[in-house]
Chain A
Amino acid sequence: GDSVTQMEGPVTLSEEACLTINCTYTATGYPSLFWYVQYPGEGLQLLLKATKADDKGSNKGFEATYRKETTSFHLEKGSVQVSDSAVYFCALERDYKLSFGAGTTVTVRA
């Protein structure tokens, strides 16, 4: 069945550092891919998405490119802020159901 594997955390960074969270998936066909973020005390929010191969999703300085050849959707940000501290979830969608990775906790220190 479909599955998502993402980099284990926790990840601790200094402000203005570069962030990469690896995500790979196993699925047949071409599922849509998503990154959701969960800030402390809040619900899941959509961060970005890509619906077909080579699409790049971007939002709030974060980017991820749908790579069919490597079945990956890595999340990147060039310069993180303290406000980016959160749990990040990679997910794929098939037949209206989302399958999530386990989440990566990111802490950014000033």
Chain B
Amino acid sequence: DTGVSQDPRHKITKRGQNVTFRCDPISEHNRLYWYRQTLGQGPEFLTYFQNEAQLEKSRLLSDRFSAERPKGSFSTLEIQRTEQGDSAMYLCASSLAGQGRETQYFGPGTRLLVL
């Protein structure tokens, strides 16, 4: 059983650069979530998709952030004009909707460092 995968696992960039992360969910899962985790804190919700539709975005997701899931399978999270405060672990999770209180399964995360 293939779990959630994320790429890259680590990214170092300079302030002002754009970065893009990819998430591949568990194959039959139709919901996909993005969270952000800073050091010493629990993950915070950013956004989620059901199939290709982005259904909710947190106010944490500034206009420099954009997420897509074009074919309802993999998703990308882009951060434009990165700032040092964007340094964090970006986590992706997926779940199968329609089974009541479904469980979210997490990927290994992408650790971003903005210099």
Residues in A lying within 8 Å of B, measured CB to CB: 4, 32, 34, 36, 42-46, 49, 51, 89, 91, 93, 95-103
B91-106 at interface with A (beta carbon < 8 Å): 91, 93, 95, 100-101, 103-106
Stretch in B10-18, B41-49, B69-77, B80-88 with 4+ CB within 8 Å of A = B41-49
Question: Which DSSP category, helix, strand, loop or mixed, fits chain A's interface?
Answer: strand
> How many residues on B have C-beta within 8 angstroms of the other chain's C-beta atoms?
25
A residues within 8 A CB of B35? 98
Name, among A34, A98, A100, the residue most crowded by chain B CB atoms within 10 Å (CB to CB): A98
Most central of B4, B44, B101, B108 by chain A CB within 10 Å: B101
Query: Residue B31 at the A interface, CB < 8 A?
Result: yes
Residues of B close to A91: CB separation below 8 A: 42
Are A43 and B108 interface neighbours, CB within 8 A?
A: yes
Q: Which residues of A contact B45 (CB under 8 A)?
A: 97-99
User: Nearest-CB distance from B106 to chain A (Å)?
Assistant: 4
Given known A-B contacts A100-B43, A102-B42, A32 and B108 have beta carbons under 8 A apart: no
Interface string of B19-49 (1 = CB under 8 A from A): 0000000000001010100001111110010
Would you mind naming 9 contact pairs between A and B with Cβ atoms under 8 Å apart? A43-B4, A43-B91, A44-B106, A49-B101, A96-B48, A98-B33, A98-B93, A100-B43, A100-B44
- If A97-B45, A97-B48, A103-B40 touch, whether A44 touches B103 (CB-CB below 8 Å) is no
